[in-house]
Structure 1
């Protein structure tokens, strides 16, 4: 390894409901321009790009980036389900750290349809077939699969640790308070626990209400990673550096445990976090701020424990004592998370990156975490891949 990767620039466009935003190529191009402006670079400085999206045809990345410039650079299209954006970041970081390139762009975007997620190809083996089969065995209830996965995991958690759905409502209410301070959040209304509990049930057997799920969303985000030598030569911002990063995929236990918590990636998360802590020589107690993958309030609870923010079974106490918010031990999802911002699949990981870079620079405004110096990002995709990234303020 030749050196660390610095995040010289970040950019995103406001997320919106399906049908209310510009097309994917325009959103992506705008996010890239914002990141380039933030870094103080022209597109001609970029040596390679990774373009992440889930729902789109081949070479959609080229279509998006040709709107910024046509410099002939390699453009690699990336699809890793909901961890797509951070997978693009992972690939860009590897090139910088290996000393292969000095300036790499990661961009993620998504133009989604309303309603529940669905598979578009029905004439070939589904990558989810094994997951779906086990999910249906454990949770035979007739609800959309995404709800069945994460609602089922939440149900297992409740039964294992003797808690109620109000725990998940507490997380959703916290997300709403954080999201109210984020001008880019799709949902900014402050909710109480009672509001969340009173919302329509979408998975009654699991106590899951509609407000415990993130909304389908369109949007785009981007980051410019650079080497130290390039940053010094170009006099770029070197305040934020990636000090550790890991990507994990499923192991046999995902299926052999017959556990919904394992099936939705808790073990992948734990393994990735452990690798990152080992690489950086720190522990979760050293973190100041975390952006984690709260596609459902249930997954935020599972992730607290998988990241080591609290002991297994300790999420009820952790949240009841407000250790997951301002004034507590660690601020989780100051942006409002996916529950408030929405979840444009390909863009989510890079939007998390943008939030944490702003936090470490001290530029997050009303949602600023005071004195933030170590920030952790968690981005999860079923099927599966988990990326955990540790950022540090370098000055």
Structure 2
């Protein structure tokens, strides 16, 4: 990466339960307007727009952006499963970094329905049919919905291989609730204890309780990225820049040597994070704050290992040492993460960006990580895609 790309503005609306939010176009427009105001720009200044969502008809991005203005700007609609928001950011950053444009916006939104994720296209092959076939091979007698089956199954594999306790995943969920208590935009702000997490209704006996899974959520977030020349000319802020970013998809080993841990994207996480560390000239020990894809408490622990925060099998020790929260080596998901902040699929990656930008600006309020200078974002979508981004304080 040679041309510096700065995050000039971010916006995010409070996340809500399905049925309790505005419609997707209004939510998206609100996040876009906030990001423009934060940057001190008008919609006419935007040269390209990338709109991310998973559940919606074609050109939903235009529907949201048209509420803000009709400038003729190119709009690209993005769908990359749960990594959609960060995929939109990846494309916006790439456009600016390449010199194609000087100002681009990425927006993500989702108007979700209650219950487990489900396919809306039952008359054709499923996009994840190959992955689901491997899941069926490994776990032939499990009747749970796909995402639960995969992520809980990966947690079970970790428990069986390394002796990880169910209580450890409960500690991760409890930590998320403590962080979210200080986030006015989070959907769940009630603090829960590990004991309460364990006592919640079992989804998979001995493997997963209801509180260990993120809730279906509605919401929107946006970010504006600009070149250094554009920022200087317009007098925009240049205090946060993207120091490294990589997107990866599955490699053959995800299917050749099947394991539930590999099927939920740990290999993609390793590849993307290693590329970002090299681009940014950093290692895990240089990072202060992390927003990662904790769609299930189990996946947060797996991601510690995938990002190289610890060796394989040592995620439980990291949790027990308190190195995932304030006072430890890293503060992981100060926003409350997907578990407590919520997971509106298309908005999640940009909500992570929103949090980390405020952390590096020093404007995160009661969630502020003292002296944060380097931040890491991890956003995962099965099927598959993984986007890892390093932000630095200029």
Quote the residue 1:229 is aligned against: 229
Quote the residue 2:280 is aligned against: 280
1:78-93 to structure 2, matched below 5 A, reads 78-93=78-93
Structure 1 unaligned blocks of 5 or more = none
Quote the residue 1:384 is aligned against: 384
| Superposition deviation, residue 344 in structure 1 | 0.2
Residue 28 of structure 1 contacts residue 64 of structure 1 at CA under 8 Å; is this kept in 2? Answer: yes
What SS is found at the alignment partner of 1:169?
Answer: helix
What SS is found at the alignment partner of 2:32?
Answer: helix
What SS is found at the alignment partner of 1:246?
Answer: strand
| Superposition deviation, residue 231 in structure 1 | 0.1
Count of equivalent residues? 393
CA distance in 2, matches of 1:26, 1:85: 17
CA distance in 1, matches of 2:353, 2:83: 12
What SS is found at the alignment partner of 2:14?
Answer: coil
| Superposition deviation, residue 255 in structure 1 | 1.1
Please give the per-residue CA displacement for 1:278-317, whole angstroms capped at 9, x wherever unaligned.
1112110100000000000000000000001112111111
Quote the residue 1:123 is aligned against: 123
| Superposition deviation, residue 20 in structure 1 | 0.4
- List 4+ stretches of structure 1 deviating above 2 A: none
> Considering only aligned residues, what root-mean-square deviation do their CA atoms show, in Å?
0.8
Residue 88 of structure 1 contacts residue 106 of structure 1 at CA under 8 Å; is this kept in 2? Answer: yes
| Superposition deviation, residue 66 in structure 1 | 0.3
| Superposition deviation, residue 2 in structure 1 | 5.5
Quote the residue 2:188 is aligned against: 187
Quote the residue 2:26 is aligned against: 26
- Higher alpha-carbon deviation: 133-142 or 344-353: 133-142
Quote the residue 1:319 is aligned against: 319
Please give the per-residue CA displacement for 1:10-63, whole angstroms capped at 9, x wherever unaligned.
001111000000000000000000000000000000001000000000000001
CA distance in 2, matches of 1:390, 1:280: 7
CA distance in 2, matches of 1:257, 1:379: 24
| Superposition deviation, residue 124 in structure 1 | 1.1
Please give the per-residue CA displacement for 1:365-394, whole angstroms capped at 9, x wherever unaligned.
000000000000000000000000000000
Quote the residue 1:348 is aligned against: 348
What SS is found at the alignment partner of 2:21?
Answer: coil
Alignment of 1:38 with 2:38, yes or no, is yes
Please give the per-residue CA displacement for 1:263-286, whole angstroms capped at 9, x wherever unaligned.
000000011000001111211010
CA distance in 1, matches of 2:84, 2:306: 20
Please give the per-residue CA displacement for 1:50-84, whole angstroms capped at 9, x wherever unaligned.
00000000000001100000000100000000000
What SS is found at the alignment partner of 2:57?
Answer: coil
CA distance in 1, matches of 2:101, 2:164: 50
CA distance in 2, matches of 1:153, 1:178: 25
| Superposition deviation, residue 144 in structure 1 | 1.2
Structure 2 unaligned blocks of 5 or more = none
Residue 51 of structure 1 contacts residue 88 of structure 1 at CA under 8 Å; is this kept in 2? Answer: yes
Residue 109 of structure 1 contacts residue 221 of structure 1 at CA under 8 Å; is this kept in 2? Answer: yes
Residue 2 of structure 1 contacts residue 99 of structure 1 at CA under 8 Å; is this kept in 2? Answer: no
Quote the residue 2:65 is aligned against: 65
| Superposition deviation, residue 138 in structure 1 | 1.1
What SS is found at the alignment partner of 1:389?
Answer: strand
Quote the residue 2:259 is aligned against: 259
1:89-168 to structure 2, matched below 5 A, reads 89-139=89-139, 140-168=141-169
Quote the residue 2:338 is aligned against: 338
